Chains A and B, each alone.
Chain A
Amino acid sequence: MMYYSRLRMASVIGVCLVGLALCLPNFIRQPSPALPWRQIHLGLDLRGGSYLLLQVDMASVTADRLRGLQDETRQTLLKAGLGYRNLATGPHDVTFTPRTPDEAQPDLKALRAMPMNAPGEFQVEQGEGGQIAITLSADAARQRAYDAVTQSIEIVRRRIDATGAIDPEITRQGEDRIIVELPGISDPERVKNLLGTTAKMTFHLVADSAIGSAVPPAGVEMLPMSDGQGTLPVFSHVDVDGADLTNASASIDPQGGEWAVNFTFDSTGAQEFGDVTRANVGKRFAIVLDNKVIEAPVIRTAITGGNGQITGGFSAQQATDIALLLRAGALPAPLNVIEQRSIGPSLGADSIRAGGYSLAAGFVLVIAFMALFYGRFGWYANIALLANLVLMTAILSLFEATLTLPGMAGMLLTLGMAVDANILINERIREEVARGRSALQAMQAGFERATATIVDSNATALLAHVMLFVFGTGPVRGFALTITIGIVTTLFTTLLLSRMLMVRWYARTRPSTLPV
């Protein structure tokens, strides 16, 4: 208890030095790319930026699958020469009545042979009224939802990367949510709009005759241009669906030297596209994205091979964006922004300043208190406190944790609480001295008795904050994380470091009385 071997001392000091080294990346530049360089990230509330919580519209994922299933059912039955009545889609199933009761068995046989997206995706059963139901299984629905979110994340990531956002963080949350964090983007309107588009792409012919007319004729819609520059009348009929695209890329058209978007249709799309373009060379063909006209280029030639090129006087950026949206494909389901938090850069700077000053002031007050009320041992506690701050910073850096405003408050509170352990030891030593024990005995008893109390009190705090971390959301997690780390570093600095300082001092001076 009162003896520290050289090895033990060296390791305590070693840990502190390693901690100090780990803090460095937060303050100086990386000298060489070979060195691992981990640092604390500033949270959005400190550096400014936006947080978006997106919810995938799961109902529409199921509805889409059921619509497809209904289509497949119809085709399967037709192909088998079977009939149906009242083919309809419910919330989880597709139902129909066989043409005659005799056909029920062949119906079931044909439908059970339909391809499934996943094993056991749906069940085909005949109900009591003779009605046949194709029911999606709950497991498959869950899997599909999971896949839809995964796919959405991918598409969201591609789209956000295309905006040039720096360090965007895109993470899954819960079953059907996606968190998007955009540091430095304090006005997320553009990103929101980009994500708000499901990117359902359709091709329509432009109704040139209706340009300028106030009320569009029947079968023609006035669609807004995506750049906000007025509207364009297009025929409502969807000539080609962008879902039939298999690939798209941007390149410079070797003939005209213009930027162009090249795309490849699958066989269905190629057929449709060929027919439409052959009949309409020289006319404008509108590319419509979620009911907004992106571009309406002129059809130069008939496009029959399934490969096409859109040249519409694009800038390089425009061409790339369109290719990206075409390639990234439509989102499997609409995304709703259900929570948005954005902080301007000046507020972030204000917060850092206010938080930083408060932190410094609190730190100085605690140090002064300890020095005034506990003398030499108080100073040892202060050294431990400083080491505590260093180690906390080091661990947060190692985790590449995000420091938020509540996190800063957590650090401050940890420092306030950290001296508790030192106070416990010191008070105990005082008591033992008051009972007439010698300096050595008092210190020994102080350490021994106080340790149990320190472990107990920190364990309860640790439990409470681990819970907070597990069940908390957003800023609360950052707060809980800093305190949890703080409790661990507190145990190290008080039980090992400050005690070591006290023991070394005793060994050096062999005092007859203690400065308590």
Chain B
Amino acid sequence: MMFDRPLLRFVPRGTKINFMRGRFIGLATSAVLSIASLILFFHPGLTLGLDFRGGIVVEARTQGPADFNVIRAALAAQHVSAAGVQSFGGPDDVLIRLDTPPDSEPDHEARTQAMVDSVRHAIATLPGAQVLRADAVGASVSKELFRNGMLALGISLLMILAYIWFRFEWEFAVSAVVTLVLDLTKAIGFLVITHFEFDLVMVAAILTILGYSTNDKVVVYDRVRENLRKYRTMPLAELIDLSINETLSRTLGTSCTVFLAALPLALFGGASLSGFAWVMLFGIVVGTSSSIFIAAPLLLLMGEKRLRRDARPPARS
């Protein structure tokens, strides 16, 4: 039967790659990338999206290629000074950004709303133009959204730590969370370099890649734990290598399917989803490699003495 047997095989059977020998290279590369990301985070910093920055963004579609001068003139006629008028997506699409009045001023919320309406009126004066999207986020709301986003991120990390601690031993939990934090810094560096706007949807994307990365680590750890019971005398480095090799086929297989699922979204998902999907793709690569090159070496460093001692059979037997 044609579909009975697999046509392709991902990883040759019974690999014996000595991953732990390269553990310092892995950790060093990760450290360099994470430090670079941190530098990027402080300078030039993340491009904050509307959710976290506050302000007004109006997307409009004009009839025929957009003429920025005409648009600026229409805005000026409504007494609106745009902070930026730029194209995005197709040639017919324009993006108009406005800064909202600072929240120290009275009536700033009402004025923000009036500005949105003025932009709408300005676009209505252009023949055939239509507003695709108009968003206005006040300064107080944006601060709050940012706080909630960070809270969600922090609590998720803590919950993951608690769960792994509960299911495994503390060396596993700590090395997993340290690895996740390193993954997180790299994702932030990626956002800085790519200029994707950091907004609520990106927080969701980052949480998802953290979830995925955790998932990947749990699978490797699970095998390490199983092998700790099975091979009581094997040195930890060898045992971790064995575990990684045994799960390598699964690790790469799953990464591939998730990658394939997210790829069309990155390529054709439209402006609002492609940024999300690119972060996902990046996170899949980082999360998969960090399981092997960072989480495992960290576990080796922390557990070299303890885990083996614990696993040793009782002295009497």
Contacts and interface: CB of A to CB of B under 8 A. Distances in A.
Interface stretch (B26-34, B75-83, B213-221, B292-300): B213-221
Given A464-B207, A468-B204, A479-B204, A416 B3 contact: no
B277 interface: yes
B191 interface: no
A460 interface: yes
Closest 8 CB pairs of A and B: A416-B261, A354-B270, A361-B264, A416-B258, A471-B152, A365-B260, A362-B261, A375-B6
B70 interface: no
Contacts of B59: 347
Contacts of B264: 357-359, 361-362, 365
A30 to B, nearest CB: 31
A476 B201 CA distance: 6
A424 B250 CA distance: 6
Nearest to B14: A434
A187 B110 contact: no
Among B9, B137, B260, the most chain A Cβ lie within 10 Å of the Cβ of: B260
B159 interface: yes
Given A339-B141, A427-B253, 9 more contacts: A55-B109, A351-B270, A354-B270, A373-B8, A376-B5, A409-B273, A427-B247, A476-B204, A483-B208
Interface stretch (B17-25, B38-46, B113-121): B113-121
Contacts of A104: none
B302 interface: no
Interface stretch (A296-304, A314-322, A451-459): A451-459
A430 to B, nearest CB: 7
A9 interface: no
Contact of A468 (B135, B152, B167, B257): B152
Interface in A32-59: 45, 53, 55
Contacts of B280: 413
Interface in A462-516: 463-465, 467-468, 470-476, 479-480, 483, 515-516
B88 interface: no
B201 A354 contact: no
Interface string B95-116: 0000000000000011001001
Contacts of B67: none
Given A340-B134, A409-B273, A423-B254, A460 B218 contact: yes
Contacts of B116: 340
B138 interface: yes
B140 A338 contact: yes
Contact of B163 (A53, A409, A459): A459
Nearest to B167: A456
Contacts of B117: 189, 192
A346 B61 contact: yes
B308 to A, nearest CB: 22
B226 interface: yes
A476 B152 contact: yes
B4 A515 contact: yes
Interface in B184-239: 200-201, 203-204, 207-208, 210-212, 214-215, 218-219, 222-223, 226
Interface of chain A, main secondary structure: helix
28 contacts: A192-B113, A344-B131, A346-B61, A351-B272, A354-B268, A358-B268, A359-B264, A362-B265, A366-B257, A369-B260, A373-B10, A375-B3, A379-B3, A406-B204, A406-B276, A412-B262, A413-B258, A416-B257, A430-B13, A434-B14, A453-B218, A453-B222, A463-B156, A467-B155, A473-B200, A476-B149, A476-B203, A515-B4
B133 interface: yes
Contacts of B257: 366, 369-370, 416, 419-420, 423
A308 interface: no
A374 interface: yes
B171 interface: no
Contacts of A449: 226
Contacts of B164: 460
Contacts of B145: 473
Given A460-B163, A464-B160, A471 B273 contact: no
B6 A516 contact: yes
Among B14, B151, B254, B256, the most chain A Cβ lie within 10 Å of the Cβ of: B254
Contact of B273 (A344, A355, A361): A355
A417 B258 contact: yes
Contacts of A375: 3-7
B47 interface: no
Interface in A333-371: 336-344, 346-347, 350-351, 354-355, 357-359, 361-363, 365-366, 369-371
B246 interface: yes
A341 B133 CA distance: 7
B263 interface: yes
B182 interface: no
Interface in B247-294: 247, 249-250, 253-254, 256-265, 267-270, 272-273, 276-277, 280
A312 B5 CA distance: 84
A480 B204 contact: yes
Contacts of A409: 265, 269, 273, 276-277
A358 B265 contact: yes
A452 B222 contact: yes
B125 interface: no
B269 A340 contact: no
A268 B120 CA distance: 45
B211 A460 contact: yes
A379 B61 CA distance: 44
A5 B237 CA distance: 45
